[in-house]
Chains A and B, each alone.
Chain A
Amino acid sequence: MNADFSRVVFLHDEMLSLTNPTLMAHANLPRIFVFDTGDDVHGCFALKRLQFIADCVAEIPGVLTYKGDTAAVLTALGVKSVVTQNTPQRWLHGRLGAFAVDWAPEPAFAEYRGALRRFTPYWKKVETALLTGKQNPAR
């Protein structure tokens, strides 16, 4: 294995498109996807879901796909730093804890900074912008 894997794009299971902005912005870096066998990750997925994910990964050119523990795979490849898309999935933050990580923001849907107790107040503030492209003055 001679390729330089010191810095890679880590594709996680919420960014599986060849048009993903983080992937496109780092087209020169190696791309790694890991089926993480942890019980808190893909280890508990039904077969059909693993196959669905494989369909997604197979469509993206040049992805190196592994099975194992994410941190162990990246360490074995000699990875030092990782670019990936931010996610609320805690397992990934845990697995990438030992690497330098650039968390790129995920594509935004709505502009909103208010409370998140109920859907309706959120919707009232974002609906105008989402439906017309115009900012809602109440935002």
Chain B
Amino acid sequence: MEQLHLPDHRDARLAAIAHYFPDAAGPDASIPGGRIAALAALDRVDPVAYARSRNHLHGAVTRLSPYLRHGCLALNEVREWALAKSGPSGAYRLVFELAWRDFWRRVWFERGDEILRDIEPAKVPLSDAPFAADITTGNTGLACIDDSIHALLNDGYVHNHARMWFAAYVVHFRKIAWREGADWYVQHLLDGDVASNHLSWQWVASTFSNKPYFFNRENVQKYTDGKPCMRCTASRDGSCPFDASYESLDARLFSRGART
């Protein structure tokens, strides 16, 4: 065993950790940890703006998840703070989303490592294509997907909507087993949490939900103001796999075999 000295100065601390863990992958942390940073992030939260814009990639999301995951903040502190600032109706959407974290965690307490396997039969055909290097390096050629992979690898923070798109892309468009995607994803997220992560992947896959989650180009455009599409080659040359109606995507993605 080795005792570690964690310097008070942050730059020195980052260097010390890089030295203690020479095999750890990726860049230095761009987001600071700790309760002081957590309280500063909490202070920036606007529950009313959150409710209005949380689905948009540039909406007023809280970015509190790494702090909640590591216990720098408790869920109830955020709830009480939001209620004090905006009252029950203004805080409703934020408290609702905080409850998702609580719900997934309860499922984890109840089921233990069972959550690492299909909880229910999938409602659509799923497959197990190999997890590919273009995904792990952010070179799929699809700007909306590659942007979120780069954010994951560089900062470890990804917006909820971008996580949903990524998981749906991996599981339904690329036909990779959700568990492979989930295991890789959780290692790179600053808020990586087996319950919120693996159960969200199961929710997307339809092994812990009533139907699969998937999306189309119109949805990406709506919640990004079309910015990734404007610089996306696939979008320009007509090869965007998301450029279709929900009906035709449903038919294309899930045509093999009958739904259970």
Residue from B36, B107, B194 in contact with A59 in the complex, judged by beta carbons closer than 8 Å: B36
Query: How big is chain B's contact interface, by range?
Result: 35 or more
Which of B14-22, B55-63, B160-168 contacts the other chain? B14-22
A90 touches B113 (CB 8 A): yes
Inter-subunit contact B92/A131 (CB<8 Å): yes
A116 in the interface, Cβ–Cβ < 8 Å?
Answer: yes
User: Does chain B have a CB within 8 A of A132?
Assistant: yes
Contacts of B17 in A (CB 8 A): 47, 50-51, 54
* Contact residues in B for A110 (Cβ distance below 8 Å): 99, 102
A139 to B8, CA, bound (A): 47
Answer yes or no: B217 CB below 8 A from chain A CBs. Answer: no
Q: Are B112 and A47 in contact (CB under 8 A)?
A: no
Closest to B68 in A: A14
Closest to B195 in A: A88
Q: Name the distance in Å between B203's Cβ and chain A's nearest Cβ.
A: 9
**A130 at interface by CB-CB < 8 Å:** yes
Tally the A-B contacts, defined by beta carbons under 8 Å: 175
- Bound together, the chains give a CA A116 to CA B102 distance in angstroms of 11
Query: For the complex, what is the distance from the CA of A20 to the CA of B192, rounded to whole Å?
Result: 20
Are B35 and A59 within 8 A (Cβ)?
Answer: yes
List chain A residues, Cβ under 8 A from B64: none
Known A-B contacts A56-B72, A66-B3; A47 and B35 likewise in contact (beta carbons under 8 Å): no
Which residues of B approach A to under 8 Å, CB–CB? 1-8, 10, 13-14, 16-18, 20-21, 24-38, 66, 69-76, 79, 83, 88, 91-92, 95-96, 98-100, 102-103, 105-110, 112-113, 153, 155-156, 187-190, 192, 194-195
9 pairs of A and B residues whose beta carbons are closest in the complex: A55-B33, A68-B1, A52-B33, A47-B24, A48-B29, A51-B29, A88-B108, A131-B88, A15-B71
Q: Which A residues are CB-close (under 8 A) to B195? A: 88
Please measure, in the bound complex, the distance between the C-alpha atom of A66 and the C-alpha atom of B13, giving whole angstroms.
Answer: 15
Question: Nearest CB to that of A93 among chain B residues?
Answer: B112
Q: How many residues of A contact B (CB 8 A)?
A: 52
Q: Which of A21-47 contact B (CB under 8 A)?
A: 35, 44-47
Return the contact of A123 from the options B32, B36, B96 (Cβ within 8 A): B96
Beta-carbon nearest neighbor of B183 in chain A: A44
Contacts of A126 in B (CB 8 A): 99
Chain A, range 102-123, C-beta contacts under 8 Å to B = 107-110, 112, 116, 119, 122-123
With contacts A14-B71, A45-B187, A67-B1 known, is A55 near B99, CB below 8 A? Answer: no
Choose one: B8, B27, B99, B109; the contact of A47 (CB below 8 Å): B27
Instruction: Report chain A residues within 8 Å CB of B95.
Output: 127, 130-131
Min Cβ gap A17→B in Å is 5
A107 and B76 within 8 A (CB): yes
- Within the complex, the shortest CB–CB distance from B225 to chain A, in Å, comes to 28
List of A residues within 8 angstroms of B100 by Cβ: 119
Q: Mark A5-16, 1 if CB is under 8 A from B, else 0.
A: 000000001111
Q: Which residues of B contact A44 (CB under 8 A)?
A: 187
Q: How far is the CA of A127 from the CA of B112 in the complex (A)?
A: 25
Q: Let me know if B70 and A53 touch, CB within 8 A.
A: yes
In the complex, the chain B residue whose C-beta lies closest to that of A34 is B1
Question: What residues on A are CB-neighbors of B20 within 8 Å?
Answer: 35, 67
Query: Using Cβ atoms and an 8 Å threshold, which residues of chain B touch A50?
Result: 17, 21, 24
Take A17-B72, A52-B31 as given contacts and tell me if A47 and B25 are in contact as well, using a CB distance cutoff of 8 Å: yes
